[in-house]
Amino acid sequence: MYTQMMDTQGAEKAKAVTTLEEQELMRRFDARIDDGGFIEAKDWMPEHYRKTLVRQISQHAHSEIVGMLPEGNWVTRAPTLKRKAILLAKIQDEGGHGLYLYAAAETLGTSRDQMIDALHAGRAKYSSIFNYPTLSWADVGVIGWLVDGAAIMNQVPLCRCSYAPYARAMIRICREESFHQRQGYDALLVMMRDGTDAQRAMVQDAVNRWWWPSLMMFGPPDGESVHSAQSMRWGIKRISNDDLRQKFIDATAQQAGVLGVTLPDPHLKWNEERGHYDFGPIDWDEFWRVVGGDGPCNRERLAERVKAWEEGEWVREAALAHARKQSMKEAA
């Protein structure tokens, strides 16, 4: 439209009109957010809102896909056929979550190939939690209990996210995550109640290693969370990182009691006045180190994903060739 303007005065006028139009669009967008309404893919949205969503949703999608690796490590060594079937189904669910989320991000104009390319090139993040190793079978149970538990705590408010395609994906994801959390807790209960001393020790060891990284899943403290204020203003995030972390600690401390494990925090104590558990300091240096690529398994995880992508090339090519053949058949 601008390129068809013959004189700069006209162009300036057009720009001013566009700016006024934009101001009106912005006003309507803000009003809809303030009313607690939803934004659909085809609705007008400010560029920063779009970018924030692509950043968060793609990071979330990558987390689901990379998150398949630590548990995948135990598929061949699950203790019974039942546990193996449950674990396979859970990992498959995580893959499905990744796909819903890539699809939600695609509605914002970024292709899945672009997002995957950013992950493989190290430009995109995924959750810090998946850079820790799964050393024993108890780790699989603890991932279900703590990691899926933290994921649900964080993700239930996202079902009311202002961007409707993301909110819709989250509703389905949360239903499945709640089954994941329960299967993990159930596997641990069996080990704690019917297991040997060695199995109980294995559960305690896994809890000791996963507790603090699980708390880090909620992101940096509110004061250091660069995106929180804007994301809360836009209704993308509904509850702050610290508030979600506190809710998770309060719920989990009680579950730990039922399970019969000790959470590895000497400062963990019910505070009657606050109506919450107090807890000890989190090692934020470790968090930023892992987020920055230097965790125990960062290199291994990324290398696995790149290898899977390269080795899967023939599958993608075959699927495309099949689709082409089908459409030629239909056309004929």
Task: Candidates 60, 245, 301, 305: give the one binding ligand FAQ (CB under 6 A).
Answer: 60
- Asked if 58 touches ligand FAQ (CB under 6 A), the answer is no
Interface segment toward ligand FAQ; rule CB under 6 A; list 80-88, 123-131, 193-201, 274-282: 123-131
Site for ligand FAQ in 82-101 (CB under 6 A): 94
Residue nearest to ligand FAQ (CB): 67
What is d(CA 5, CA 293) in angstroms, rounded to the nearest whole number? 49
C-alpha triplet 78, 171, 36: angle, nearest 5°:
150
301 contributes a contact to ligand FAQ by CB under 6 A: no
| Stretch 17-56 residues interacting with ligand FAQ (CB under 6 A) | 55-56
Number of residues that bind ligand FAQ (CB under 6 A): 30
List of E strands, the chain: 269-271, 276-278
The answer to whether the CB of 259 falls within 8 A of the CB of 189 is: yes
Local structure of 141: helix, strand or coil? helix
Among residue numbers 172 through 211, which ones bind ligand FAQ (CB under 6 A)?
A: none
Q: If you search the block for the tokens 């000497």, which residue do you land on?
A: 266
**If binding is defined by CB under 6 A, does position 246 make contact with ligand FAQ?**
no
Q: Which stretch binds ligand FAQ (CB under 6 A): 73-81, 103-111, 144-152, 300-308?
A: 144-152
270-300: string of b/e by CB count within 10 Å (b at 16+)?
eeeeeeebebeebeeeebeebbeeebebbee
Residues 205-244 that bind ligand FAQ (CB under 6 A): 216-220, 225-228, 231, 237, 241
Residue 156 contacts ligand FAQ per CB under 6 A: no
Q: How far is the CB of 68 from ligand FAQ (least distance, A)?
A: 6
Residue from the set 45, 86, 140, 147 that interacts with ligand FAQ by CB under 6 A: 147
Smallest gap from Cβ 282 to ligand FAQ, in A, equals 11
C-alpha span between 193 and 230 (Å, rounded): 46
Tell me whether residue 189 or residue 291 sits nearer to ligand FAQ (CB atom). Answer: 291
Catalogue the long-range contacts made by 185-188 (C-beta closer than 8 Å, 24 or more residues apart).
185/141, 185/144, 185/145, 185/255, 185/259, 187/83, 187/140, 187/141, 187/144, 188/138, 188/141, 188/142, 188/145, 188/259, 188/261
State the CB neighbour count (10 A cutoff) for residue 87: 21
Per CB under 6 A, residues contacting ligand FAQ are 55-56, 59-60, 63-64, 67, 94, 125, 127-128, 143, 147-148, 151, 154-155, 216-220, 225-228, 231, 237, 241, 291
